[in-house]
Structure 1
Amino acid sequence: MSDVDSHLCVYPPVCDVCRAYPLPHAGPDERFSECMVKSVIRALVGHGYPPVENVWDWSDLEMALAGFLYHHEEKEKR
């Protein structure tokens, strides 16, 4: 079992204390960069997924990462 597996919450839907994501989103975050997205792409390719070779795939990946990483106010209003 990896370090990540050993720290996973048993029942996350009821455990807000354990949740690290999504992060509060208060504006631009210098950590969310082209370099970070390229690192994610390298990890995906390293695990056998096809390379990201067009702007539409890149854009979708950025949006998916942002959706996972950051808490957006629009989601709160629903």
Structure 2
Amino acid sequence: MKGDDALVFTGLKGGPMRRNGFDKVTRWGHVVEALGVPNPHFHDLRHTGIALAADMGISTRNLMARWGTTTSGPR
């Protein structure tokens, strides 16, 4: 898949990487255990990415477009 909708991380066959594939490739469980992060979830990285981008001054409009959000307030 190429273009604006291309996947950043792909499975071995070029499709979307599934959670179990990600865990195997990155050793996610070992990493978070070594860091001592309590009850970690891969999705937490999404929140970290948004917070870091916001800290760098990315506009709310751009953040919302990038992360596919339609509202900026709490749900």
The reply to whether TM is greater than 0.5 is no
Name the TM-score, length of structure 2 as normaliser.
0.31
Query: TM-score if structure 1 supplies the norm length?
Result: 0.31
| Structure with greater proportional helix content | 1
Q: With CA pairs under 8 Å and 6+ residues apart, which has the higher RCO, 1 or 2?
A: 1
